[in-house]
Structure 1
Amino acid sequence: MDKQTISRDGTTLAYERTGQGPAVVLVSGAMSTGATVAPLAARLSNGFSVIVYDRRGRGESDDTAPYAVAREVEDLAALIKTAGGEAALYGISSGGALALEAAASGLPVRSVAVYETPFADYGGAEERAEYTRNLTEALAQGRRGDAVELFLTLTGLAPEMIANARQSPMWAGMEAIAPTLAYDDAVMGDGLVPRDRLASITVPVLALAGAASPEWLRRATRAVAESAPQGTYRTLEGQTHMVDPEVLAPVLAEFFASQV
């Protein structure tokens, strides 16, 4: 990241800006940094000024205690200010929940696109609460590896794959940002689709899901679109939660251009 901005609480945020045109800020999900969405930024930079950043506590960005979801909304406000005072937002997975919350909070946002924000449109609150309790305990005890394992288990990764991941070179990097799992957990709230909050969003929302993703993710994504007054739902053929930037970028570009 070659640039920095300061959030309202004094936290330094690292970001990069590429391309020319209307501003778009990309928001990464759990266990990721801005590098995760950099390939998408490259494909959008022909028509947009794209900002990629490390969310607080990750990569080259600092952190300031205590954490609150409102602080991450203020982070986006600072980035939008650097972009010229208005921007579109794209968020993937739990980053989508943050992008939607920013729009609901009244930030100067033109439009919001999200990909498979993993809400549930049915029960599951008890399972979610158990995850939160176990995650909080693991992080409080400094068991970062166990915290990462809890998250990977929540995503449905098989135990043998998690065991292999623990032996891989990437595991150290995952443990380094493990405390931010609590941040994404907070952003997701109780895990259910926040229908009332989404109903307060006054800008267009595009909710995307992969046609090859689990049915519950597609159902939750559709519920996001249905809850936003100007929401649209769309599936991308052949895509899973690991969406291909080559497939995603043209869809986002068309949506963002239509809202300029």
Structure 2
Amino acid sequence: MEPNPADPALHVHGALVPHDAEIPSYLRRAYSWAYLDPRTLRWLDRPGVVSAILWGNANRLMRDAVAEFAPGQRVLQAACVYGGFSALLAQRIGAHGALDVVDVAALQVANARGKLAGFRQAKVWQADLSVPGCVAAGGYDGVCCFFLLHEVPEAERCRIVDNLLAAVRPGGRIVFVDYHRPRGWHPLRPVMSLVFRRFEPYAESLFGAAIESRSARSAGFEWTKTTCFGGLYQKLVGTRRG
């Protein structure tokens, strides 16, 4: 049975004690090269590389996501992110806030801890976000899911969305930033179609339905959605009704 991070027995001086989580088979199969290999991690975790992957939109997308949260909030970040995103989020919530970053891969957890070492308000721990009860229900003012959902199969995607929505307390906010189906005239549409088929095998299944439709809990939220860069990227913001 997976430990529940909401269990007080797992807390030491207010921090969550990390535990081993089994690497999902889909992650080993599709993304070992990107997230489980320390050799490629050193190359991929560079601002210039992150910017290139997102066609120069990385800083804009990161700023837009971080701006949805406020100083002093307790925020959950779903999965580690290459580049400086976690540091930006930690800076945004400030010394009186709290940031929990959760990832299933021990390599990513260790890497994020190194990048966040100067932020006492930030904790990084290991858990599988597709497992029910992996995060405390209603435990967060804000939840941020930045370019995770396109990297998981549909079944896991639905469970992750459901768990993240459950983690938002009444009046709190959840932010999803991810790929979106580009408009038909977009010059990069054929290029991205090739990229998805070659490197992102689960991405196009994300476009089959709205993100919020993956969980019945979404009925308890007010939703707003914006797209940018010709529809290639989306930001979906949900505010939980009080």
Taking structure 1 as the reference length, the TM-score comes to: 0.40
Q: Hey, which of these two has a bigger chunk of strand by percent?
A: 2
Q: Hey, which of these two has a bigger chunk of helix by percent?
A: 1
